[in-house]
Amino acid sequence: MSRTVVCSFDELAPGTARRFEIDGIAVAVVRIGDDVYAIGDVCSHADVSLSDGEVWCDERELECPKHGSTFDLTTGEPVTLPATQPVPVFDARVVDGDIVVNVTVDSVDIRHDSRDAVDQ
């Protein structure tokens, strides 16, 4: 398990996402109000950075900027098409004013081989 401080809580504006590399894994960290979430930063459909997409605060979802699929921030499951495969989720919390993300071997199932067909 890798427990990593990615930034201070105040450095991530509410309603935004930011990309971090943790042990070679691209992670999108999202802040909604006082809550933080961490999911795999690579869309399971189009190999695009999810942290460049729009945060849907009320729905607790992150939208892929390429084709518009949205992913549930708590489960990693795609909520809208064209994505059909989930992205990994990671434990994220605020500890002493910092955002800490835990990446475990079990939580990293990137699915490169089973990725949806890409129509780039």
Q: 47: domain CATH number?
A: 2.102.10.10
Please check whether residue 119 lies inside any domain of the structure: no
- If one counts the domains in the chain, the total is 1
Rounded (10°) CA dihedral 22, 35, 53, 60: 130
Q: Which domain holds residue 80?
A: 2-103
70-72 sheet: strands from edge to edge: 55-56, 61-63, 70-72
Inform me whether the pLDDT recorded for 1 exceeds 70: no
Inform me whether the pLDDT recorded for 117 exceeds 60: no
Confidence of residue 108 (pLDDT cuts 50, 70, 90): low
Q: DSSP 3-state assignment of 50? A: helix
pLDDT digits (tens, 9 = 90+) for 6-17: 999 999 999 999
Please check whether residue 71 lies inside any domain of the structure: yes
Own/partner pairs for 82-85, CB < 8 Å, 24+ apart? 82/45, 82/116, 82/119, 83/43, 83/44, 83/45, 83/46, 83/116, 84/44, 84/45, 84/116, 85/44, 85/45, 85/111, 85/114, 85/115, 85/116
Please check whether residue 109 lies inside any domain of the structure: no
Please check whether residue 45 lies inside any domain of the structure: yes
Global model pTM greater than 0.75: yes
Inform me whether the pLDDT recorded for 37 exceeds 80: yes
Inform me whether the pLDDT recorded for 99 exceeds 80: yes
